Amino acid sequence: MSKYWSETTKNIEPYIPGEQPKDKKYIKLNTNENPYPPSPKVIEAIRKTANENLQLYPDPNCDELRHTLANYYKLSPNQVFVGNGSDEVLAFSFMAFFDKKKPILFSDITYSFYEIYVKLFGLKHKLIPLDDEFALPLNSFCIGNGGIVITNPNAPTTKYVSIESLKRIVEYNIESVVIIDEAYIDFGGESLIGFVNNYPNLLIIQTLSKSRSLAGLRVGFAFGHKDLIEGLSRIKNSINSYTLDSLALAGAKASFEDETYFQSVCLKIIDTREKIVPLLKELKFTVLESKTNFLFVSHTTINAKIIFNKLRKYEILVRYFNKPRINNFLRISIGTNDEMKILVKKLKQIIIEIEIETVN
Ligand SMILES: *Cc1c(COP(=O)(O)O)cnc(C)c1O
């Protein structure tokens, strides 16, 4: 705390990302990164750009990348916004669309950045409790609000909501902007992108960080009605003209031009996920059905925090949230097949260790 801090700085509680430790070589299953590298074509495009025009500013409108994305998703470029990671796109969206007078709705267990943006931008919010199975109660989103944010599939619960259900929420709330955060949609869900022409209040946000193996490049997108996209541009151009550097623009574009590579990585992760679920169930874990690149699991007898700490000793990092309702769960990112084999082996060992400890 410093006397020089503004009231805002004093009062914010920043987001704490999963750790990126440097001390040991951990198996990292804690931040939902992709275990596979990006397409070689992405690296090639970044190298080429690095050898060219870094003395120049990048294109502030990101026209080439927006055209590539528009073609890919069969939209027009004025329905596409790009930003420095989807966290930035989310922050801009909260600033651009959310009404200070009415509460912003999101579920009680979801991406924790939403609550931080609410506080940072002086908004109000109302948490919508997920039901006992962590399903989204659709009717609870049919109340007065200043905006809605839904992660689909949800993090960290992995729960997926059908297109039909989301469309009902978007239709009912035609007076406010409904943001669907689709950070994990490429791992088995169906995107709502095809419906942005139908609803002027629908904004879809996606990222290159998970399914496209580019967390380090920092690129996120929004798709929506051209007026929403113009609103986002107004905010962005009032803060920073160049949120994406030339290397990120080139790498992101190349990623969308290598569909075969992208599809093969997603399929590998889905395949690994489906193989590990029965193995965890054998070890008496409850595993929620996942359409993401991570699992949300709880052990029938052993406390999640204990397993988390023991895995850390074995140099495997997973994510534990010390929060009501989910403090007996672990979020485990899907790694390579080899990494997941080691995880299962260590979990077996940990369960035996704990059985011996409790007998003594
Ligand atoms: C990872 C994640 C993001 C942020 O992604 P970046 O593009 O890396 O900023 C946004 N929303 C959810 C739900 C995420 O899990």
Summarised one tens digit per residue, pLDDT across range 336-351 is: 999 999 999 999 999 9
Question: What value does the mean pLDDT take over residues 252-272?
Answer: 98
Question: What value does the mean pLDDT take over residues 9-20?
Answer: 87
Question: What value does the mean pLDDT take over residues 54-82?
Answer: 97
Residue 45: pLDDT over 80: yes
Looking at residue 287, its pLDDT comes to 98
Residue 156: pLDDT over 80: yes
Looking at residue 16, its pLDDT comes to 85
Residue 139: pLDDT over 90: yes
Question: What value does the mean pLDDT take over residues 292-300?
Answer: 98
Q: How far is the CA of 90 from the centre of ligand 1 (A)?
A: 9
CB of 182 shorter than 6 A to ligand 1? no
Residue 212: pLDDT over 90: yes
Average pLDDT value for the chain: 96
CB of 183 shorter than 6 A to ligand 1? yes
Residue 24: pLDDT over 80: no
- HEC letters along the chain: CCCCCCHHHHHCCCCCCCCCCCCCCCEECCCCCCCCCCCHHHHHHHHHHHCCCCCCCCCCCCHHHHHHHHHHHCCCHHHEEEECHHHHHHHHHHHHHCCCCCCEEEECCCCCHHHHHHHHCCCCEEEECCCCCCCCCHHHHCCCCCEEEEECCCCCCCCCCCHHHHHHHHHHCCCCCEEEECCCHHHCCCCCHHHCCCCCCEEEEEECCCCCCCCCCCCEEEEECHHHHHHHHHHHCCCCCCCCCHHHHHHHHHHHCCHHHHHHHHHHHHHHHHHHHHHHHHCCEEECCCCCCEEEEEECCCCHHHHHHHHHHCCEECEECCCCCCCCCEEEECCCHHHHHHHHHHHHHHHHHHHHHHHC
Summarised one tens digit per residue, pLDDT across range 81-96 is: 999 999 999 999 999 9
Which domains are assigned to the chain? 7-36+260-359 (3.90.1150.10), 40-257 (3.40.640.10)
CB of 209 shorter than 6 A to ligand 1? yes
Most informative mutation of 86, 157, 204 for ligand 1 (most atoms within 8 A of CB) = 86
Residue 357: pLDDT over 90: no
CB of 86 shorter than 6 A to ligand 1? yes
CB of 211 shorter than 6 A to ligand 1? no
Residue 74: pLDDT over 90: yes
pLDDT category, 145, cuts 50, 70, 90? very high
